[in-house]
Amino acid sequence: MAATDDATVVAVPPFTEALRAWLKIGLISFGGPAGQIAMMHRILVDEKKWIDEQRYLTGLNFCMLLPGPEAMQLATYIGWRMHGVKGGLAAGLLFVLPGAALMLALALAYAAFGTVPLAEALFVGVKAAVLAIVVEALLRVAKRALKGQTDWLIAAAAFIAIFCFGVPFPVIILAAAIFGFLRTRSATNPPPNLAISHPVPLASTLRTIAIWLAIWILPLLGVAWVFGPDHVLSQLAWFFSKLAVVTFGGAYAVLAYMAQEVVQDFGWLKPGEMLDALGLAETTPGPLILVTQFVGTLAAWREGGGSPVVMGILGALVTLWATFAPCFLWIFAGAPYVERLHNAPKLKSALAAITAAVVGVILNLTVWFALHVLFAKVDDTVIGPLHLHLPDLSTLNPVAAVLSALAFVLLFAFHRAIVTTLAVCGTLAVAWLWMGAGA
């Protein structure tokens, strides 16, 4: 049930009014988690005054501790505080569904027409812009996360582990969490207006967990029963359910791990297509983790059998369910305990260490992106325990290099929006194709 104390909610709106606000947020939630969190703060805290500053920040800290898209989970948490479970469902679903519908249309179009020269040229520009966007994300996260020498060392160790030795992303996150939990941090008293809420009955929490585990898992078990455990839809259900548990740090951080599995192990996509997926996610509203929907659509389109369109839609639905159903489990089970985070310094320390490790993982992603954007051939080289990605320098793509440089200028010098940068680079790439065809 929603909390309604005065310190939490300044003015609880009617549910219909909240629905309109959540739909508006879902339609304009561009710019990744940083932009989405800032936009929700402006609407919900500053303009509508539905939740106060301290509660908003406390909810954000809680959501950053969870796997999954923090902005979507923050919306779910605030919706829960105002109107209980129905409010959380409305906020979370409306945050995701507009972008998911658009992403499905784009992924189906990509699956059908993605190899035509015009589309290939467009995505050269998109990839070039995404490279600059990822660098900007790296710098933004690093500035927020790396507060001291220890954090810098954690980030460096994470980068070396994943880039040089191929250590899986979940292992890095687990190691960082254990280190942070064991690291000594002095306890602090909670702010006076965040007194610990009344104890939550354990039976209530266990009931919530059981209900949402069933909602998450049973439909996916049904998919495996209908199509068989070896079908691509069943593989998608298992893979993205596993991914939902380890997606700390959002889409940028998990993409390197996901690409390793999707490209190298399953063979569902090519390396360049992962860049295209992120480029599409950048141009649509909603969580960037919708990049997983693109993967599910293409994998089922290509390997599902039967009608490619039907299978692509089913792949998208299975992936969405496996990715986002767990988010409601985390929020509805953990929300009653949110204010206790201020009296749990070890949990806060674990979160800080995870965030520092994510910086190293995003740096790895940045290097991985740069190599595959700028060079047509990147070799996987094994030297003893080292697993390195080394480019063939003779395969440098000059168009991608020029457009990447332009994207950096647009983002860092002129501070243009992400969508503007993507549009400019994509348009110039298409124009370059036309000029080449006319020459």
Supply the pLDDT for residue 125: 86
Question: Hey, what are 352's tokens?
Answer: 């800080």
Query: Backbone phi, then psi, for 383, in 5-degree steps?
Result: -125, 95
Distance CA 281, CA 218 (A): 28
8 A C-beta contact, residue 40 and residue 285: no
8 A C-beta contact, residue 121 and residue 276: no
Tell me the DSSP string of 211-245.
HHHHHHHHHHHHHHHHH-TTSHHHHHHHHHHHHHH
* Cβ-proximal residues to 151 (8 Å cutoff; 6+ apart), any chain: 145, 352, 353, 356, 359
CB neighbours (10 Å) of residue 413? 8
Tell me the DSSP string of 309-366.
HHHHHHHHHHHHHHHHHHHHHHHHHHGGGGGGGGG-HHHHHHHHHHHHHHHHHHHHHH
8 A C-beta contact, residue 44 and residue 60: no
Supply the pLDDT for residue 328: 96
Task: State which H helix or E strand residue 56 sits in.
Answer: helix 53-65
Supply the pLDDT for residue 122: 80
Question: Hey, what are 364's tokens?
Answer: 């790895």
Q: What is the pLDDT along the chain (439 residues), one digit of tens a residue?
A: 444 444 444 678 999 999 999 998 998 886 667 668 878 888 898 888 899 877 887 787 788 778 888 889 999 999 999 999 999 999 999 999 999 998 999 899 989 887 667 777 887 888 888 788 778 878 877 886 788 899 999 999 999 998 888 887 778 888 998 998 888 554 444 445 444 456 778 899 999 999 999 999 999 999 999 999 999 999 999 999 998 887 766 666 677 678 778 887 888 988 778 878 877 787 678 888 898 999 999 999 999 988 999 999 999 999 999 999 999 999 999 998 886 665 677 877 887 788 788 788 778 878 887 888 899 888 878 887 887 888 989 999 999 999 999 999 998 999 887 778 888 998 999 999 888 755 4
Question: Hey, what are 71's tokens?
Answer: 């902005």
What is the identity of the amino acid at 146? L
DSSP-derived secondary structure letter, 199: P
Supply the pLDDT for residue 68: 86
Distance CA 390, CA 388 (A): 6
Supply the pLDDT for residue 115: 62
Distance CA 279, CA 135 (A): 14
Distance CA 49, CA 47 (A): 6
Question: Hey, what are 184's tokens?
Answer: 């000594």
Four-residue CA torsion sign, 11, 14, 17, 19? positive
What is the rounded end-to-end Cα distance, in angstroms, of the chain? 67
